[in-house]
């Protein structure tokens, strides 16, 4: 199963079930997860961990 297929299924789920409130949550989680992975071990890491 490719990543594009997962995105397509998620898009179809949102259209079919009218769950548009899920999209911003998923986008935020993906962006925040990417930020944590990319800045792991850098000077930004302590600032990210203080959020929690």
- Does this model's pTM top 0.85? My answer is no
Please compute, for residue 49, the number of CA atoms within 13 A of its CA located in the half-sphere on the CB side.
Answer: 9
- Residues whose CB is less than 8 angstroms from the CB of residue 1 and which lie 6 or more positions away in sequence, other chains included: none
**Structure confidence at residue 45 (pLDDT):** 66
DSSP 19: -
pLDDT in tens, 1-52: 566 788 888 888 888 888 888 888 888 988 888 877 777 766 766 776 677 6
Of 30, 7, 28, 11, the residue nearest 19 (C-alpha): 11
Q: How far is CA 39 from CA 2, 33, 35, 44, 46, in A?
A: 26, 10, 6, 6, 10
pLDDT of amino acid 17: 86
């Amino acid at each position: 199963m490719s990543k594009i297929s997962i995105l397509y299924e998620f898009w179809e789920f949102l259209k079919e079930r009218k769950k548009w409130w899920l999209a911003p949550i998923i986008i935020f989680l993906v962006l925040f997860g990417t930020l944590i992975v990319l800045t792991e071990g850098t000077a930004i890491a302590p600032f990210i961990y203080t959020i929690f």
